[in-house]
Structure 1
Amino acid sequence: MKKLLILSASLLLMTAIATFAQTPMSDSSMHHHNGMHKMKDCVAMKGGKMWVMKAGQKSEMTQTMTMSDGTTVMADGTVKNKDGKTWMMKDGEMMDMNGKVMMKDKMKKAKSDGMK
């Protein structure tokens, strides 16, 4: 009887492991493993290229975007504020769709501070 119980438990465990191994990771868990933060829509400079994060999908920026505050961001990383000031995004900088800029390191710090 003990052997039958152990055999049943082992089969159940192996079935659970096999099912889990075949379950695809969600977008948010994939982004976490790829070093990306779970974040709202944004644009970011990484590796000398501009990237767009929209609805959990990351793609290379190919055209100029205008944020809700009137800030314009170009595919080469040039930013023009609504007051006319122009500057270049630096590697690691991110901008949300409202025009708020944040460094990747500051995001990590803010995230860890929020967990304390």
Structure 2
Amino acid sequence: MEKLMILVFACTLSTGVFAQKKMDHTMYMDKKEQMIDMKKDHLMMKDGKMKMMKDGMEMPMDHTMTMKNGTKVMPDGMCTKKDGKTMNMKNGDMMDMDGNMGKMPSTDKKAKKGKCC
């Protein structure tokens, strides 16, 4: 009986270890709980300027781009969805090449201080 209890306890602990998920180079999407791989190509508003991450290199965005879902993104941060709705990207906003919006991960040490994992 004692061996059975030890076996159950060991299985429970190992399940918790395997359930952990590494979160580097990803970001959560708004409300959808999807993640964007930060190493993939994307657009972002950084320091008040639109930037494009292409093949791992960050460069200024100098022309209007149309994402796969039909959203048009202009160099000033104005986005127009396929249905005609518009919005302005703010510092920290990101968009992948499919047109999914999200936020850049925080690099602020104070924000990370209270988080584990």
Q: How many residues align?
A: 76
Partner of 2:46: 46
Work out which structure has the larger RCO, using CA pairs closer than 8 Å and 6 or more positions apart in sequence: 2
Query: Residue 94 of structure 2 aligns to a residue in which SS?
Result: strand
Deviation at 1:71, TM superposition (A): 0.3
Q: Equivalences for 1:47-66 in 2 at 5 Å?
A: 47-66=47-66
Which amino acid in structure 2 is aligned with residue 103 of structure 1? K
Distance in 1 between residues matched to 2:84 and 2:43, nearest whole Å: 20
* 38 and 85 in structure 1: CA distance in 2 versus 1, 3 angstrom threshold: closer
Q: Say if 2:86 is the partner of 1:104.
A: no
Provide Cα deviations, 1:70-89, integer angstroms capped at 9, x if missing partner: 00000000000000001100
Q: Find runs of 4+ consecutive structure 1 residues off by over 4 angstroms.
A: none
The 2-side partners of 1:70 and 1:97 are apart by 10
Distance in 1 between residues matched to 2:60 and 2:105, nearest whole Å: 21
Q: TM-score, normalised by structure 2?
A: 0.58
1:97 positional shift: 0.1
Query: Where does structure 1 lack aligned partners over 5 or more consecutive residues?
Result: 1-36, 107-115
Cα deviation per residue 1:49-78 (whole Å; 9 max; x = unaligned)? Answer: 000001111100010000011000000000
The two structures have a TM-score, normalised by structure 1, of 0.58
1:101 and 1:57 map into 2 onto residues whose CA distance is 20
Q: How many Å apart are 1:39 and its aligned residue?
A: 2.2
Greater share of residues in helix:
1
Question: Which structure dedicates a bigger proportion of its chain to strand?
Answer: 2
**What SS does the aligned partner of 1:84 have?**
coil
| 2:88 is aligned with 1:88 | yes
1:104 to partner: Cα distance: 1.3
Match of 2:103, as an amino acid? M
SS at match of 1:99: coil
Q: Which AA in structure 2 matches 1:48?
A: G
Shift of 1:96: 0.1
- Matched residues, percent identical? 48
